[in-house]
Amino acid sequence: MSENTAGGVRETVDAIYRAESRRVFATLIRLLGDFDVAEEALHEAFRAALEQWPREGIPANPRAWLVSAGRFKAIDGIRRSARFDPLDEDAEDIAGADDSTSWASDEIEDDRLRLIFTCCHPALQPDAQVALTLREVCGLTTEEIAHAFLTAAPTLAQRIVRAKGKIRDAKISYRVPAQAELPERLESVLRVIYLVFNEGYAASAGATLTRHDLSGEAIRLARLLVDLLPEPEALGLLALMLLHESRRAARASATGDLILLEDQDRALWNREMIAEGTALVERALSSRRIGPYTLQAAISAVHAGAANAAATDWAQIVALYGLLAQAEPSPVVELNRAVAVAMRDGPESGLELIDAILARGELADYRLAHAARADLCRRLGRTAEARAAYERALALTRGEPERRFLERRLAELGSRKIST
């Protein structure tokens, strides 16, 4: 079938939509200055392609054609509306713009970076940053995002609407931050990407341990960011996610039950991801601008490089956690270091550190702190304390695979099954 027949063109347009629509959309936002106007223009452009390309042929540069067509359709619509209602200042600027502009591929790629920084602007609430990024940069539907984060679709839709309104009303600039602003603004972008990944890698609730669609989107976003802005911490975050994701196939049994790192079949680990992640870690470390994501990735690389659990270099991991605690102090980092200390020096040493953290109260409702304490008590034969800590962790857990794991641990201690 010729690619210029109606069927051939539709197949081509569908393929271009999958590959290029978010690039076209990002440029239309810059040109039109409004998310909703740009979304409508995007659909109008692809509709025009289905009508015109069978007659005129597929253009040499489909992406630029679509940008031009979408912009023209939007301007035409704004000018027609002006016959009935007065235009606001922004609409007047769009309607009066020069129609003869052309766009180069590198400029369109820059637009994708502008869009990421706009969606992750610190003026927006963190949950709105995540929702807007997934919707506008990744192209997920409102229903898909709501399902992923266990939020009602109308609630999620309102969150996105409010975020767009905030960008419009506050006149947030659609641009890549200046060099002086970049560290702070990049941190916000990286945090959003990592939040998306974490929800996919270890789902906070629900029947499954992981959500591959979300972790995959986060990795895709990080790759895009590294391609457009190869800062060391962007490299470090991509490395960290790849090294974590490399273990996906080994993290759960065929029945969906959780398998701890020490018990995983390392033959199932994805060696290509490990090689890529390790190379990215080395590249980020060589920059001498070492941040928290790079340090976490370095820790994951140590795990990935061990042939088996017994061969893990726990002394190096403890040292890296020490550096991480200096770079980004937090009780969770302290907890992870305590677990590493337990593996290096024995459970008594780790338990002493965890008890000190819990005594401060900061992790009183953090399930993994109680699970870690339970495990160390179990290894020390302190059964009553282990049972109490497992029960506390179980009460705080919403994910079904984790619940089943904790219930199995309680059963092994001779406890009756706890119903919560």
Counting DSSP H helices and E strands in the chain, the numbers are 19, 0
pLDDT tens digits, one per residue of 295-318: 999 999 999 999 999 999 999 999
Q: Is the pLDDT of residue 204 over 80?
A: no
Residue type, 136: E
Percent of residues, the chain, with pLDDT higher than 70? 87
Q: Mean per-residue pLDDT for 99-120?
A: 67
Segment among 49-58, 181-190, 347-356 with least mean pLDDT: 181-190
Provide the pLDDT for residue 84: 46
Q: How confident is the model at residue 97 (pLDDT cuts 50, 70, 90)?
A: very low
Q: How confident is the model at residue 210 (pLDDT cuts 50, 70, 90)?
A: low
Backbone φ and ψ of 240, nearest 5°? -60, -45
Six-digit token pair at 357? 């953290």
Please answer whether residues 286 and 304 qualify as being in contact, where contact means their C-beta atoms are separated by less than 8 angstroms: no
CA atoms within 13 A on the CB side of 179: 0
Give, as one character, the DSSP assignment of residue 249: G
Measure Cα distances from 360 to 97, 169, 173, 326, 356 in Å: 60, 42, 42, 19, 7
Best CA proximity match to 70, nearest among 12, 21, 112: 21
Strands (E), 137-261: none
Q: Mean per-residue pLDDT for 347-375?
A: 96
Q: Is the pLDDT of residue 87 over 70?
A: no
Provide the pLDDT for residue 99: 46
Q: What is the Cα–Cα distance from 321 to 313, expressed in whole angstroms?
A: 13
Provide the pLDDT for residue 417: 45
pLDDT tens digits, one per residue of 374-420: 999 999 999 999 999 999 999 998 778 889 999 999 999 984 444 44
Q: Is the pLDDT of residue 90 over 60?
A: no
Q: What is the Cα–Cα distance from 36 to 42, expressed in whole angstroms?
A: 10
Q: How confident is the model at residue 177 (pLDDT cuts 50, 70, 90)?
A: confident
Percent of residues, the chain, with pLDDT higher than 90? 57
Give one DSSP letter per residue of 302-349, joined into a string: HHHH-SSGGG--HHHHHHHHHHHHHHS--HHHHHHHHHHHHHHH-HHH
Q: What is the Cα–Cα distance from 243 to 20, expressed in whole angstroms?
A: 28
Six-digit token pair at 307? 């042939």
Provide the pLDDT for residue 399: 79
Task: Count Cβ neighbours within 10 Å for each residue of 125-143 and write b for 16 or more, e otherwise.
Answer: eeebbbbbbbbbbbebebe
Q: What is the Cα–Cα distance from 413 to 420, expressed in whole angstroms?
A: 18
Provide the pLDDT for residue 93: 44
Please write down the long-range contacts of 374-379, taking CB distance under 8 Å and 24 or more positions apart: 374/409, 375/409, 376/342, 376/347, 376/350, 376/351, 377/351, 378/409, 378/413, 379/347
Provide the pLDDT for residue 98: 47
Provide the pLDDT for residue 418: 43
Q: Mean per-residue pLDDT for 199-223?
A: 72
pLDDT tens digits, one per residue of 2-59: 455 667 888 999 999 988 898 899 999 988 888 989 999 999 999 999 999 999 999 9
Residue type, 272: E
Provide the pLDDT for residue 174: 85
Provide the pLDDT for residue 183: 76
Q: Is the pLDDT of residue 109 over 60?
A: no
Give, as one character, the DSSP assignment of residue 250: G
Cα 187 to chain centroid distance, Å, stands at: 13
Best CA proximity match to 189, nearest among 277, 293, 278: 293
Q: How confident is the model at residue 82 (pLDDT cuts 50, 70, 90)?
A: low
Best CA proximity match to 281, nearest among 315, 247, 234, 323: 234
Q: How confident is the model at residue 114 (pLDDT cuts 50, 70, 90)?
A: confident
Please answer whether residues 26 and 114 qualify as being in contact, where contact means their C-beta atoms are separated by less than 8 angstroms: yes
Q: Mean per-residue pLDDT for 133-162?
A: 85
Please answer whether residues 199 and 148 qualify as being in contact, where contact means their C-beta atoms are separated by less than 8 angstroms: yes
Q: Is the pLDDT of residue 328 over 70?
A: yes
